[in-house]
Each structure stands twice: as structure tokens, then as C-alpha cells.
Structure 1
């Protein structure tokens, strides 16, 4: 089940709650700006699986949670350049 199905089929979520929940999700350009990276990087990372976790809302629509972006950043921390994966 996709996230969009959950939102559509959740009558217990009033419109205000739904708007608050959706506000915490960023589109790809917003996520790229938050990460200070290009949107093209996120496009490639989404295809290769090297990027942050994302939520697929539809065939061409994805969103990112700030928490997932922060977790991804923290997971890339290294102490020396020899630790950098290629």
C-alpha cells in the first residue's frame, strides 16, 4: 500500500491533521535545498538507491521526511578521507 492510499483511506484524519502531516514532507527540490545539493544528485541517488529514504506517493511523485534526510546525513559522517566510499 502506498502512502497516498493511506491518506485517502483514513477518514479519521481531518483535513487539518492531513495538512499538518503533509507539511512535514518535502518535495525533491525542497529536499535538495535542505541538503544543499542539486536536484540532479537526488534524482541519481533515487535511481541507484544511494540517497536518503523517500516516500513514493504516486508514479512520479516522491516526498522526503526531514528526519530521513538528517539520518542519511548522519550516516555519511567519516573521520578521514580514506573512509569515503567511491
Structure 2
């Protein structure tokens, strides 16, 4: 992704957020439904993600060991 595509002012649709995180769009949808995914914004029927929230969520998933919760 280029810097212009990840501008803090530009929200990402689910497919773009999937590309940003390396997950599939369906995985993001399942995580959203379970309440385990990144923070999102609902605009009518559209779901968008702030790249800053995606980065924070990814950062929160860092682990040093497979036994860490």
C-alpha cells in the first residue's frame, strides 16, 4: 500500500482493511461479528476502518511466546 492509501484521514473498506492486516475480508467480518476484531465504524450499511485503529489492533496481538494469552 502506498502512503496516500493509508492516510490517517482515509477510512478503509473491509477489503482494503483485509489487505492492510493480511487477513481475509471474511475473517475480518467474522471477527467483527464476534467482537474480537479491530474497532470499526458503521456508516449506514458500509463498514470502514481507520488505519490507526488497525495498526493499534495488530500491535495488541504481538506475542513473544505461543503460551502467552
Higher RCO, 1 vs 2 (CA within 8 Å, ≥6 residues apart): 2
The runs of 5 or more residues in structure 2 that have no matched partner are 1-8
Count of matched residue positions in the alignment of Structure 1 and Structure 2: 62
Q: Which residue of 2 aligns with 1:41?
A: 27
CA displacement at 1:79 relative to structure 2: 0.8
TM-score, normalised on structure 1?
A: 0.68
TM-score, normalised on structure 2?
A: 0.83
The runs of 5 or more residues in structure 1 that have no matched partner are 1-22
Q: Distance in 2 between matches of 1:68 and 1:77?
A: 15
Secondary structure of 1:56's counterpart equals strand
Moved over 6 A (4+): none
